[in-house]
Structure 1
Amino acid sequence: MANGDRQETAYMAVRVARLYYFQNMTTAAIADEIGTSRATVSRLLSYALDRGLVEIRVNDPQEVSGNLESAIAGRYRLRSIQVVPVPANATEKQNLQRVAAHAAAYVSSLVTPSTVIGLAWGTTLAEIADKLLPRRVHDVDVVQLNGSGTGLNFVDTFGESIVSRFAQNYGARAHHFPVPAFFDFADTRTALWREKSIKSIRALQDRASIVLFSIGAEATGSHVHTGGYLGEEERDMIRQQGLVGDIATVFFRQDGSWRDVALNARSSGPDLDCLQRAAHSICVVSGAGKIPGLRAALEGGFINELVIDEPSARLLVAQLQGQASP
């Protein structure tokens, strides 16, 4: 190729590259604009890459995420840690949507015939339900882990709708838990737990191989704190006893202890031992306000798989390394 021809080719390759990479034009649109074929445009793009006229850099978020995952794994024995990259300027809502989409895809990859899925309810789980991609799986059961009725409205559709959407997604059987989120009296719960219908639901909860939940926290405006489930007396109790979070309306302290928490005697949530027995006890977290509760849940051993957004993972690692106050 003569020097003049090479210069002309280089000029055209740069022009095509600018249109393709900077203007986001398709090869067909570029071909129309410069009066050539799509094949020629493709050859010019390849020429630009081969000659170094264009450099493509990929900033692999997995390298960053992998470092964060390793740091978390160095402290806690988890089966899986998945740090979800998010845009630097993303809002908390956008972060949650990104994490929810990741969690929805991951959970779907775990669902096999005869799986029992246990679901807590909350803002995060509702977002995950929105991100599910339909997939029919034979003989799947989806069971609600805790009641969602309130003192003003015994039948609360928030938790039930999440269970229904998961079940519909997999062509599964939905098992709702028609009890209050919190009973007025512990004795009432004890009596109801003896009923055969309730026993069967709780037995199914205990059989769940996939348990999906997030961390409830007052600082993040979690649904359990904003949906009318807690009165002022319960709120005071939570603050006075240093309860930093809840899973399926079962509260725990900073050290992960929960058995002697008075409020839990009135909760409809499961014993947290069932989380430790599940093959996939998956906690999905997005937002810095959940970190104190997440750390407590990790200390309690309630989690064996964690899905978390990158900014929250950075904060968690910084605290674990003593670079930020808990």
Structure 2
Amino acid sequence: MTDDQAALAVQVARLYYHQGLTTDAIARELQLSRPKVSRLLTLARRTGLVEIRIHDPQAHPQSLEAQLHERYPFLRSHVVSVPPGSPETVWMERVAVAAASVLDSVLRPGQTVGLAWGNTLDAVSRVLRPRRMDNLDFVQLNGSANALDFMSGFVTDSITRFAQNYAGRAHLFPVPTFFDDPATKRAMWRERSVRHVLDLQARADVLLYSVGSPAARHPSHVYISGALDPADLAQLEIEGVVGDIATVFYRADGSHSGISLNARASGPNLDLMTQVSHAICVVSGLGKVQALRAALAGRLLNTLVTDEPTARALLMPEEGSNGFRPSRE
């Protein structure tokens, strides 16, 4: 879109939305055809020049957003309505579309976006609306689970889908999710090719990720891919772990230092999530509520995209933990 097109689209949008003129009236006033006016209105909405918000004081999502802000004043929340009685697969579909819209609204030319691969971000990557933006970098935040996953395209396709959607650059991170030895990780982190990715992660303007939980109805990919063995899972339970972000683990209070497996993990220090303007966490499903509550306790996000049932469960009094055991559902 050229500057002239943008200016004309804004002018049309102001006449339509602010002054209430019909498309016919706008066409006459600006000496344009009615189809061109309609195309300019569509362009204004698609490119973010116009954002449509519905403010309904009786609406459940808005009420839940207000309650979340009261409990977590630092949090910007987006609660998505879902059909009553619908399955969690439908919740995820709705949340993915909302997350794609939230990402679209915060992106600016020249930014670096950190992405933590997984089932949730894969779903988001599939519903992005094509939009070209200058000089965007999309960087993978954690290594692929294993060589098989990296070659299968599960990880690489998700990351490159984001980059291609915005005509940006994809920076993959072809290292293991977990190293066998912390010393191997330290050595790899000194390699120039790896340092390039780490430097991009450190200067990210936007982060997009979910919380991982073995208790989810569809357990996070890392728990079912073979990256963790039974001894690893047992140690995580001993250390009080309730979830992970970008395969870096944290406890019920949101703390993450001193957890033994993190010394071998390829994901970033979770302090990164507290240092960016847009740390967008996308969560759907009741099995992730405990992990989400813990992430909020540690302020490991400042923007949340979730569904109504998950938001309601988050606001309920906390129940006892079932331990760090993968769901059998």
TM range (shorter): 0.7 to 0.9
Q: 1:19-58 maps to which residues of 2 (within 5 A)?
A: none
Tell me which amino acid in the other structure corresponds to 2:102.
Answer: Y
Unaligned runs of 5+ in 1: 1-57
Contact 2:150 2:156 in 1 (8 A): no
Q: Distance in 2 between matches of 1:238 and 1:162?
A: 28
Q: Report the 3-state secondary structure (helix = DSSP H, G, I; strand = E; otherwise coil) of the residue aligned with 2:59.
A: helix
For 2:97, the equivalent position in structure 1 comes to 101
Which residue in 1 is equivalent to 2:279? Answer: 281
Which shows bigger deviation, 118-127 or 58-67?
A: 58-67
Residue 159 of structure 2 is aligned with which of 158, 163, 184? 163
Kept in 1, the 8 Å contact 2:205–2:276? The answer is yes
Residue 138 of structure 2 aligns to a residue whose secondary structure is strand
- Equivalent of 1:256 in 251, 254, 257: 254
Secondary structure of 2:289 counterpart: helix
Spell out the pairing of 1:276-315 with structure 2 (5 A cutoff).
Answer: 276-315=274-313
Partner of 1:17: none
Tell me how far 1:157 sits from its aligned partner: 3.0
Contact 1:79 1:304 in 2 (8 A): yes
* Corresponding residue of 2:228: 230
The reply on whether 1:63 has 2:59 as its aligned counterpart is yes
- CA–CA distance in structure 1, aligned partners of residues 58 and 247 of structure 2: 34
Q: Structure 1's 59 and 176: CA in aligned 2 closer, same or farther, altered over 3 A?
A: closer
* Match in the other structure for 1:148: 144
Kindly provide the CA deviation profile for residues 76-106 of structure 1, in whole angstroms up to 9, marking residues without a partner as x: 2334111111110211000000000010111
- Partner residue, 1:244: 242
Name 2:181's counterpart in structure 1: 185
Who is 1:173 aligned against? 169
Structure 2 alignment gaps of length 5 or more = 1-53, 322-329
* Partner SS state of residue 78, structure 2: strand
Aligned residues of 2:111 and 2:136 also touching (Cα < 8 A): yes
Please, which of 264, 267, 285 is the counterpart of residue 266 of structure 1? 264
CA-based RMSD: 1.9
Letter in 1 for 2:125: A
| Equivalent residue number for residue 3 of structure 1 | none
- Whether contact under 8 Å (1:77, 1:304) holds in the other structure is no
Q: For residue 42 of structure 2, what is the aligned residue in structure 1? A: none
SS, match of residue 317 in structure 2? helix
Q: Is 1:75 matched up with 2:54?
A: no
TM-score by length of 2: 0.77
Q: Does 1:126 align with 2:130?
A: no
> Larger Rg: 1 or 2?
1
Matched, 1:198 2:194: yes
Stretch deviating more after TM superposition (220-229 or 125-134): 220-229
**Aligned-partner Cα distance in 1 for 2:167–2:262:** 33
Distance 1:199 1:131 in 2: 31
Q: Which amino acid aligns with 2:94?
A: R
- Superposition deviation, residue 152 in structure 1: 6.3
Kept in 2: contact 1:282–1:305 (CA 8 A): yes
Tell me if the contact between 2:56 and 2:62 (Cα under 8 Å) persists in the aligned partners: no
Distance 1:312 1:153 in 2: 29
For 2:3, the equivalent position in structure 1 comes to: none
The DSSP-based 3-state class of the residue aligned with 1:219 is coil
2 CA distance for matches of 1:257 and 1:279?
20
Matching residue within 111, 118, 127 for 1:115: 111
Aligned length: 266
User: 1-side partners of 2:143 and 2:63: how far apart?
Assistant: 38
Structure 2 letter corresponding to 1:265: A
Aligned pair 1:88/2:79, yes or no? no
d(CA) in 2 for partners of 1:154, 1:310 = 34
The answer to which of 76-85 and 200-209 deviates more is: 76-85
CA distance in 2, matches of 1:158, 1:62: 41
- 1:154 offset after TM fit, Å? 6.5
* Alpha-carbon separation, structure 2, partners of 1:178 and 1:112: 27
